[in-house]
Structures are given as structure tokens and as C-alpha cells.
Amino acid sequence: TGSKPDISREKSAELYEKAKNYFPGGVNSPVRAFKSVYGTPLFIQKGDGCFVWDADGNQFIDFCGSWGPLILGHNNAKVREKVTEVMQSGMSFGAPTALENELAELIIKNNKFVEKIRFTSSGTEAVMSAIRLARGYTGKDKIIKFEGCYHGHTDSLLVKAGSGLVTFGETSSAGVPKSFAQETIVIPLNDTEAIKAAFEQFKGEVAAVIIEGIPANNGLLMQDPEYIKSLEQICKENNALLIFDEVITGFRIGFEGAAAYYGVKPDIVTYGKIIGGGLPVGMYGASAEIMGHISPDGGVYQAGTLSGNPVAMAAGIAQLTELLRSGFYKELNNKATEFAESIQRFATARNYKLKVFHVGSIFWMAFTDKDKIQSAEDIDPASMEKFKLMHRELLNRGIYLGPSGYEVGFVSAAHTKIELEKAKRAIFDSLDVVFRN
Ligand code: PMP
């Protein structure tokens, strides 16, 4: 086995040149620009099942799945049919529709973590609103977040840790006022001392602790279950709310997400991605009591022109209905586990420095020999060079992974055994290339 010749990217490159005239970096979301991998971005033309095709006609088995929403795969017939049907009656009214009730019922009746919810149009909005709700509810301002968790691009969460165990956040984006970042305390994951110290130092000031149900935006950082449970306790002791950001893990790890996985009861939960079936939907929810603080019932303002719009609701209804079928998650998770474990077995047998971390149908290939990676600082940035090589080899073998080594991959219900076998073979061959160079 050796390096494969590069696929043709002529049409994609042409489209990218054009796009650069229209969009900063030629894209509408930065990671799409392929800055941390080889070549120019692939412009995707079509998706079906577990496959995508680019503008040059190259076909790939896709493990990005639009970054998580497509748990049933691309262009799922049930989702497409429901959306098409609903669209015949108009796209948006900015008025209540029965479809919102239908999706809300699917969620609330099958999920013990939320009694009332509010739909938004993105995960970012859901999290932004959840934070405002926590502040409004507790009457406190400060938020604790973790280095290595991403919660969308709302101002107060575009912060990174400074030096020291407990620090005010430093803005991680130009345009975020220092004074906003000062309301966010950033601490390392899986570190009991750090969270204790944070609550100690900012006694009576912390409105909420926000964490990704299972951190999956900076590698897959599996936390110790006792640690996650301890968050519930320390929040209670300090009258702070625990917010689980389940935009990725919600309906992915199981219908009740990471909260059920850990057996923890967060005070506010945010969802996105999967609940929209590939259309723009986010959501936050909590007990009826906490949600009673949202306008017009309460004083915390939050709104949206397209919130709960019928087309997006239709996609969510169709998708969640499929997920509720008995055995759905068991089958998907078993398939993904087998996939991840056989890559690990291959790497181990060859003494390759690779660890495949996985949970449910989420997997992450880390170029490391550490058995556990639980915080952002456990990741060696230099290891990303190996990811970059692997990414190119995989594209050249018809496998599409998100274009960054910090991103996780998703197995969908549409990945059949045959395609997963093909993908494994391609991954094995690519790893051979990566580790023999
Ligand atoms: N929270 C988490 C955990 C996410 O993974 C993301 C997006 N990757 C967001 C929030 C933001 O969602 P959106 O991109 O829909 O705004």
C-alpha cells in the first residue's frame, strides 16, 4: 500500500475561487474552509444515505453527517416526504402551528429532562437563551465554562482560559468586549479542584455551569461519570444551575442524550442538530417552573421570526419518529462500536500511536498513545499533522471526515455493514501510509 493520487478537485476549486469573492474565506462557517487539512474545500452537490458526492463527481462515504444532524443519513425518504408534504401549505407564518405541538410532544413525552421547551433556529441561539434564562432565574451574572467545550458563537462563550487554575475568560474572538468575557470563568474539564476553587472564589456570583453533555467539539473528551455527577451536587450547593449543552449529544447518545447516559439531572438542556433533521432548529428546555421565566410568561426575553417554522418542525417530527422505533439506538450504537473497536484493534496490532475514542455513534481518532484524553490540554497539537495526512489519504480513498482533527465523526443509521467494511479498509490503508512516512 502507498499514497493514493489526489482526486480531481477542478470544479470544487473553481467554485471556491468564486465563493471567495462572496464570503470571507469563501465559506459561511470557518471550519469548512479546509484550513487544517490539505487542498481546497470540496463543494458538495448531493447526499444520499451514507454517501455524498462533490461537484467533480467524486463519491464519498460520509462520516461528517452535516456535523451531526443526519443520524438517519442524507436525504432520508421519511424526512424528505414529510418536509415536502408540509411545504405544500407554505413555508413560514410567524404564528403558532400544530406542527410545533407535535414536535414538542415527541420530545417532552419521551424525555424526562424537559417539561417545557422553546424552539430556536440554531444551537448558538439555544445556548445563548439558556444562559440568559439561567441569569434571569438566579439573578446572578457569572457563568462557569470549560476549556475544550464549544457552545456556539455567542459572545460570552467565545472565551478561552487564561493562565492559572481559575481564570476569567479571555476573549477567543476579536469583537467580544473584555467586560463580557469577564462574566465567564473558564476552568479545565474533569478537574474537581478547579470547580471547587471557582465556586469558592466567586461565591454567590455564579448563575450557571455550562458543559457539553459529552464534550465533542475538541476531540471526544470522555469525562469520569463521578465528575459529571459532582457537577450536579456543587451547583445545588451554590444555587447555580447546571446547563447541559446537548446540541451534539442530544438524541445522538440516545433519545435522552448524555443526561440519561450519566444519570444526571441538569436544570436546563439545550438541543439542536438532530431535532431539526438537517433543517435549522435548536431548542432549550427545563422544568415548567424555570421555563416560566421566559417571555411572555416571565421577564427573560427571547424570540425568533423563524422559530418553530413548519418546514423545520416537519423534518424534526419525521426524524425523531424514526429514532423512537424500538432498538434504533441499540443497533446504531452496536454498529458504531464495532467500527471504532476494529480500527483500534488494527492500530494496536501494528503498534500505531492511535486511540479511537467512541461513545454511542460518535467516534474520534486521536493520534496519541494516551489511554484517556479528558481535557483540552491532553491533546498534543503536533498530532494534528498526522490527522492531516490521514484526511488526504481518506478523501483519496472515498471517505469523508470533517476537515479537522479536533472534530468527531458520526456513524448514521444509513451506514450499512458493507460500507463500514469499505471504510475500515480505507482507514487501515491510510493509517499504513501515515505511519510509514
Ligand atoms: N453547542 C454545541 C455543543 C455544538 O456542538 C454546537 C455546534 N457544533 C453549538 C452549540 C452551536 O450550534 P449551531 O452551530 O447550530 O449554532
Contacts of residue 118, defined as CB under 8 A and 6 or more positions apart, other chains included, come to 129, 283, 284, 285, 291, 294, 302, 307
Ligand 1 pocket, mutate which of 28, 150, 270 (most atoms under 8 A from CB): 150
Q: How far is the CA of 290 from the centre of ligand 1 (A)?
A: 23
DSSP state letters, 57-120: --EEEESSGGGTT-TT-BT-HHHHHHHHHHHTT-S--SS--HHHHHHHHHHHHT-TT-SEEEEE
Q: Is the pLDDT of residue 395 over 80?
A: yes
Q: Is the pLDDT of residue 164 over 90?
A: no
Structure-block grid coordinates of residue 134: 439561567
Structure-block grid coordinates of residue 245: 449543552
Looking at the structure, tell me whether residues 221 and 112 fall in a common domain.
yes
407 Cβ inside 6 Å of ligand 1: no
Looking at the structure, tell me whether residues 305 and 371 fall in a common domain.
no
Percentage of the chain exceeding pLDDT 70: 100
Looking at the structure, tell me whether residues 295 and 418 fall in a common domain.
no
Rounded mean pLDDT, 330-343: 98
Rounded mean pLDDT, 125-145: 98
Name beta bridge partners: 363: 358, 409
- CA-based max dimension of the chain: 64
212 Cβ inside 6 Å of ligand 1: yes
Q: How far is the CA of 132 from the centre of ligand 1 (A)?
A: 17
Q: How far is the CA of 279 from the centre of ligand 1 (A)?
A: 14
In a domain, 283, yes or no: yes
Q: Is the pLDDT of residue 168 over 90?
A: no
Ligand 1 pocket, mutate which of 155, 247, 406 (most atoms under 8 A from CB): 247
In a domain, 1, yes or no: no
The residue whose CA is least distant from atom 12 of ligand 1 is: 123
Do 320 and 107 form a contact (C-beta atoms < 8 A)?
Answer: yes
Last residue of a domain, one of 323, 344, 379: 323
Looking at the structure, tell me whether residues 100 and 128 fall in a common domain.
yes
Q: Is the pLDDT of residue 336 over 80?
A: yes
Q: What's the confidence (pLDDT) of residue 167?
A: 72
Q: Is the pLDDT of residue 209 over 80?
A: yes
Rounded mean pLDDT, 276-288: 98
What is the ipTM for the molecules in this complex? 0.99
Looking at the structure, tell me whether residues 202 and 260 fall in a common domain.
yes
* Nearest of 62, 99, 105, 116 to residue 324 by alpha carbon: 105
Shortest-distance atom of ligand 1 to CA 212:
3
Rounded mean pLDDT, 224-243: 98
Mean pLDDT, the chain, integer = 97
Task: Express the helix, strand and coil content of the chain in percent, nearest 5 each.
Answer: 40, 20, 40
Q: What's the confidence (pLDDT) of residue 121?
A: 98
Q: Is the pLDDT of residue 369 over 80?
A: yes
Q: How far is the CA of 157 from the centre of ligand 1 (A)?
A: 11
Q: What's the confidence (pLDDT) of residue 186?
A: 95
128 Cβ inside 6 Å of ligand 1: no
Active site amino acids: 150, 245, 273
Q: What's the confidence (pLDDT) of residue 1?
A: 62
In a domain, 3, yes or no: no
Ligand 1 pocket, mutate which of 125, 127, 270 (most atoms under 8 A from CB): 127
* Nearest of 425, 435, 437 to residue 353 by alpha carbon: 435
Q: What's the confidence (pLDDT) of residue 162?
A: 75
- Residue 400 to residue 409: CA distance in whole angstroms: 9
The total number of structural domains that make up the chain? 2
272 Cβ inside 6 Å of ligand 1: yes
Q: How far is the CA of 217 from the centre of ligand 1 (A)?
A: 9
Q: How far is the CA of 151 from the centre of ligand 1 (A)?
A: 5
Q: Is the pLDDT of residue 170 over 90?
A: no
Looking at the structure, tell me whether residues 160 and 264 fall in a common domain.
yes
Looking at the structure, tell me whether residues 317 and 347 fall in a common domain.
no
Last residue of a domain, one of 269, 303, 323: 323
Rounded mean pLDDT, 158-186: 87
State the CATH number of the domain containing residue 342.
3.90.1150.10
Q: Is the pLDDT of residue 166 over 90?
A: no
The residue whose CA is least distant from atom 7 of ligand 1 is: 152
SS3 231: helix
Looking at the structure, tell me whether residues 182 and 311 fall in a common domain.
yes
152 Cβ inside 6 Å of ligand 1: yes
In a domain, 215, yes or no: yes
Q: How far is the CA of 406 from the centre of ligand 1 (A)?
A: 14
In this prediction, residue 332 has a pLDDT band, given cuts at 50, 70 and 90, of very high
Q: What's the confidence (pLDDT) of residue 133?
A: 98
Looking at the structure, tell me whether residues 272 and 399 fall in a common domain.
no
Q: Is the pLDDT of residue 228 over 90?
A: yes
Query: What is the residue range of 300's domain?
Result: 77-323
**Cβ of 178: how many Cβ atoms within 10 Å?**
10
Looking at the structure, tell me whether residues 202 and 163 fall in a common domain.
yes
122 Cβ inside 6 Å of ligand 1: yes
DSSP state letters, 252-299: TTBTTHHHHHHT---SEEEE-GGGGBTBS-EEEEE-HHHHTTBTTTSS
In a domain, 2, yes or no: no
In this prediction, residue 2 has a pLDDT band, given cuts at 50, 70 and 90, of confident
Last residue of a domain, one of 257, 289, 323: 323
In a domain, 178, yes or no: yes
Q: Is the pLDDT of residue 169 over 90?
A: no
Looking at the structure, tell me whether residues 299 and 381 fall in a common domain.
no
In this prediction, residue 246 has a pLDDT band, given cuts at 50, 70 and 90, of very high
State the CATH number of the domain containing residue 105.
3.40.640.10
Looking at the structure, tell me whether residues 17 and 100 fall in a common domain.
no
Q: What is the pLDDT of residues 72-108, one digit of tens each?
A: 999 999 999 999 999 999 999 999 999 999 999 999 9
In a domain, 159, yes or no: yes
245 Cβ inside 6 Å of ligand 1: yes
In a domain, 315, yes or no: yes
Q: How far is the CA of 133 from the centre of ligand 1 (A)?
A: 18
Ligand 1 pocket, mutate which of 29, 120, 124 (most atoms under 8 A from CB): 124
318 Cβ inside 6 Å of ligand 1: no
Shortest-distance atom of ligand 1 to CA 152:
11
404 Cβ inside 6 Å of ligand 1: no
